[in-house]
Structure 1
Amino acid sequence: MLPTELLMFRVKAGVVAPRRLKPTTANLQLAETLIATFEGNIGKKRSELNEDLRTLEGGRADFKVLRGLAHLLTQQCEFEHASNVEPYLIREKVFDLAQAGPPSRKRTEQVLEQAGKALELPPAELSASLYADLPDQQSLVTFDPLTPQDLIQRFDLAQAQGLLYRAYSLIITVRRNEPARYKQILKYAKLFGLMLTAEGDAKLGFTLTMDGPTSVFGSTTRYGLALAKFLPALLHVTKWDLTATLKPRRDLAWVDPNDEEWTFEVTSEDGYVTHYKAPEDHDSALESGFAERFAKLDTPWTLEREVDLIAVPGGVILPDFRLEHADGRSVLVEIVGYWRPDYLRKKFSSLRQSGREDVIVCVSERLNLDKAGVNIADFGERIVWFKGILNPKDVLSRAEQISVPAV
């Protein structure tokens, strides 16, 4: 992402829009030049790289664009100090020896010589390594380059992410997708510690609400950073709209002092590109095997992957599949395979708290539910037991039993 000072945006009538770069010849050439500059500095000190970047920046009106692109490329780098001995150990030895007498040029030479002997380093190498761990003295050892097009796309996304630093309300409307990718949303919401509530249904879509940093934690940016990191995950969902309410920046002279809040809106149609890895179609061999066997059946039922978000106290659950009949009937399918006791307790507790009677729960006979302290008596005929594999015919038979005609 980008630091606040490199964010570029405009505000009109309280609606904020981030700066975006068009893939023009000039912008692509700038990106290509920057990438080549980083590649040419592999093995050199960071201070030399920074000097080359300052040279490129000289006299440019779009210096913030250059700095933003360079900042993103820096995140593709690995810097290390070149010393064979940790610099902090060298400093400890030098400073300890220096206490023995008053400072002088001759005394400095003696101290470096003594420290070099103690650490088995030549004086010249010891002197060069004394502060080798400082950022500008570190060497660029690896660089994973982006293409010019990828760099421009990463810049656009980073500008949009930066607006979420100051968000205190974020609402996402996600519509029915194939594949849904809802699990990606829940995975990253949990990973980044975001609080999420869901309303709606699979037919019309879901509204996801996330609290931002100023509404819950006061004027901090930690939660805003989490919201910003979440945005690339949302891009894996194919149909969505996002509306964020932001706290205006008061450190900018051009900001209208009468603005009490800003609105930032972005949709799946805006062309942002994620750099997060796409999720797997299935989380386990059980689920993928079930889907493969189902696809070979001749049935009026269709199988969809993770298209329902069900609100439960303190969170959201996402059943593995939805079965929908040609006549409009539908049921949900949750597969419970080989998991730890604490997972089983939480899973069945969430299913029970959801209050949903249209969920078929497929449970492996290899699970010791009694040992886990799980009582499934109240799930009744909604339980389907299986051994090694889950037979879709058994699930379809149960679906015919518990499904109700569409209204």
Structure 2
Amino acid sequence: MLPSDLLLHRHSGEELQPKRLPIDKKHLAMATDLITVFREAKGKPQSELDRQLQELEGENTDYRIKRGLAHLLRAEAFSTFEIVSPLDPQALRQKVFALSAGSASLPQAADQTLATIATQLSLELGYEVLTDQVRSGLYADLNENRILTQFEPPEPEALLHRYNLSQVQGVFYKASQIRINAHRNDPGEYKLLFRYLKLFGLMTYIEGDADHGFTIAIDGPTSLFKPSNRYGLDIAKLIPALLHVTKWNLAADLLLKDPYSKQEKLRRFTLADTCGLVSHYPAGKPYDSMLEFSFADRWDSLKTEWKLEREVDLIPIPGSVMIPDFRLVHPDGRSFLLEIVGYWRPEYLRKKFYQVRQSGRDDLILAISERLNLEKAGVKFTDTPAQLIWFKDKLLPKSVLSLLERNEAAEDLNRG
């Protein structure tokens, strides 16, 4: 996404309107030129790339647009900058400084020190290290010296779409409240949207159902006791996911500093499914964490009749919707829902356990990380219908399977 200093917008009364670039010949040519600069800078230090970009900017008035597009091209999705050095630069500097201590501060002495280090490293590493490699590696960890080792160029049109989306995402850095109305959508679209809400840890209040639609209220970063830039970024990340929903509209209240009075003023921003923005998120179902991905991957190697399902029904509860991470289904018809409680903030933990109590589901299994300080979060297990499993770093499928087998044994005993 774009930093605040590269966001461009104008005011129309109380309404905020982010700048969008038309997908026309002029801007496609601009995007193409920038992509070419990055492609030709592959294998060169970042300082050389910066020089080429500055030269491309020239003295044109659209320099902020070019900087914004270049900022997006620097993102990990497109560019990889790496430290290229025969040894960790800090360790390399220590070697050079230790060897040069007490030596004459002459160019010849410095060159001799670097040559000696190169010889030592050649013997240690088992391949030839040149003096020039030692010289360039000394400060290879500085940003300007990092090498652009990989570049995956987007299509010029895709880059312009990404820019327009980023301008809109930047609006939410200063949001105090967001309201989303989603209606007449496929249930799978709701599930995808709610999974992203959960993935980004957003503080939401949800009303409605899949048949009639949902109203989603999200507390913005400026509504918190202490405004959080990170939380503002998390809200902005939701917008590409919302674009996968067919029918929706959004309204946001913003607290923005007036450039003249320097006082914060309330502004408004609206968006709808007809906005024409293009998402770069895949339309598939995301895993909420590596914990879930790792668990699902390990489950596939188990020899068990229990089938692990990722697609789980929505469970409406007061003020929210619960979407358990997995469903476990046995051929005889038995099924359990599984929710993995990982490394969440205290306020999110309190909300999660409130949801569990409100759901009233006795077929729910909670797998809880021992790293969580539940006492600090004010979470208690009283009146919790769910069954509990504790884990340390990774949730082992065998732990879940053991619980399922104990349930089966208990049912057989009751029937007997």
TM-score, reference length from structure 2: 0.70
Aligned match of 1:330: none
* 2:222 aligned counterpart, secondary structure: helix
Structure 1 residue identity aligned to 2:18: P
Q: Deviations over 1:55-104 (max 9, x none)?
A: 11002111111111111111110112332322222112112233335644
Give the counterpart of 1:111 among 100, 110, 113: 113
In structure 2, C-alpha distance between the alignment counterparts of 1:183 and 1:337, rounded to whole Å: 20
> What is the Cα deviation at residue 229 of structure 1?
1.1
Match of residue 311 from structure 1: 317
Contact persistence 1:342–1:372 (CA under 8 A): no
How many residue pairs are counted as aligned between the two chains? 331
- After superposition, the C-alpha distances for 1:194-231 in whole angstroms (9 at most, x for unaligned) are 11211123343211111111222423211101101111
CA contact (8 A) 2:240 2:279 kept: yes
1:114, distance to aligned residue in structure 2 (A): 3.4
Residues 172 and 232 in structure 2, CA contact (< 8 A), matched pair in contact too: yes
Q: Which of residues 212, 219, 222 in structure 1 aligns to 2:230?
A: 222
CA contact (8 A) 1:10 1:19 kept: yes
Looking at structure 1, the residues matched to 119 and 337 of structure 2 have their Cα atoms a distance apart, in angstroms, of 58
Gaps in structure 1 of 5+ consecutive residues = 292-304, 321-334, 357-365, 377-407
- Higher-Rg structure is 1
1:371 aligns with 2:373: no
Which moved further from structure 2: 256-265 or 160-169? Answer: 256-265
> Structure 1's 47 and 107: CA in aligned 2 closer, same or farther, altered over 3 A?
same
Q: Cα distance, 1:269 vs. partner?
A: 1.0
Aligned to 1:242: 250
Distance 1:64 1:347, change over 3 A: closer
Match of 1:278 in 2: 283
Q: Do 1:15 and 1:264's aligned partners in 2 also have CA atoms closer than 8 Å?
A: yes
Partner of 1:329: none
In the alignment, what sits opposite 2:37? 37
Q: CA distance change for structure 1 residues 352 and 94 in 2, over 3 Å: closer, same or farther?
A: closer
Given that 1:173 and 1:205 are in contact with CA atoms closer than 8 Å, whether structure 2 keeps it comes out as yes
Partner secondary structure for residue 268 of structure 2: strand
Find the counterpart in structure 1 of residue 202 from structure 2.
194
Q: Which residue of 1 aligns with 2:24?
A: 24
Shift of 1:245: 1.3
State the shift of 1:340 in Å.
5.8
C-alpha contact (below 8 Å) 1:45/1:137 kept by paired residues: yes
Cross-structure match for 1:147: 155
Aligned-partner residue type, residue 43 of structure 2: G
Partner of 2:256: helix, strand, or coil? coil
- Aligned partner of 2:271 in structure 1 is 266
Partner residue in 2 for 1:394: none
Whether contact under 8 Å (1:241, 1:268) holds in the other structure is yes
Distance 1:116 1:44 in 2: 22
What amino acid sits opposite 2:102 in the alignment? Answer: A
| Matched ranges for 1:47-126 at <5 A | 47-75=47-75, 76-101=78-103, 103-120=105-122, 121-126=129-134
Work out whether residues 39 and 151 of structure 2, in 8 Å CA contact, stay in contact via their aligned partners in 1. yes
2:135 matches 1:127: yes
Structure 1 residues 37 and 210, CA gap change in structure 2 (3 angstroms) = same
Q: Distance in 2 between matches of 1:71 and 1:267?
A: 27
Say yes or no: does 1:181 pair with 2:181. no
- Secondary structure, in 3 states, of the residue corresponding to 2:27? helix
1:352/1:258 CA distance change after superposition, 3 Å: closer
**8 Å contact kept, 2:179–2:218:** yes
Q: Kindly indicate whether the alpha-carbon contact (under 8 Å) linking 2:221 and 2:227 is maintained by their aligned counterparts in 1.
A: yes
Residue 230 of structure 2 aligns with an amino acid whose one-letter code is R
Per-residue deviation at 1:178?
Answer: 2.1
Could you say if the C-alpha distance between residues 341 and 355 of structure 1 is closer, same or farther in structure 2, counting changes exceeding 3 Å?
closer
2:407 & 2:116 partners in 1: Cα distance?
A: 65
CA contact (8 A) 2:257 2:264 kept: no
The separation in 2 between residues aligned to 1:370 and 1:341, in whole angstroms, is 18
Could you tell me which amino acid in structure 1 is paired with residue 277 of structure 2?
Y
Which whole-Å CA distance do the structure 1 matches of 2:114 and 2:86 have between them? 16
2:243 and 2:222 map into 1 onto residues whose CA distance is 24
Paired with 1:19 and 1:178, the residues of 2 have a C-alpha distance of 31
Change in 2 beyond 3 A, CA 1:280/1:286: farther
Mapped partners of 2:166, 2:339: distance in 1: 41
Q: Tell me by how many angstroms 1:257 deviates.
A: 5.2
User: In structure 2, what residue type is equivalent to 1:311?
Assistant: I
CA distance in 2, matches of 1:97, 1:249: 55
Change (3 A) 1:207 1:81: same
> Aligned residue for 2:330?
none
Superposed displacement of residue 133, structure 1? 2.2
Amino acid at match of 1:117: T
- Between 232-241 and 36-45, report the one with greater CA deviation: 36-45
Question: In structure 2, do the counterparts of structure 1 residues 258 and 105 end up closer, same or farther at CA, with 3 Å as the change threshold?
Answer: closer
C-alpha contact 1:206 1:309 (8 A) present in aligned 2: no
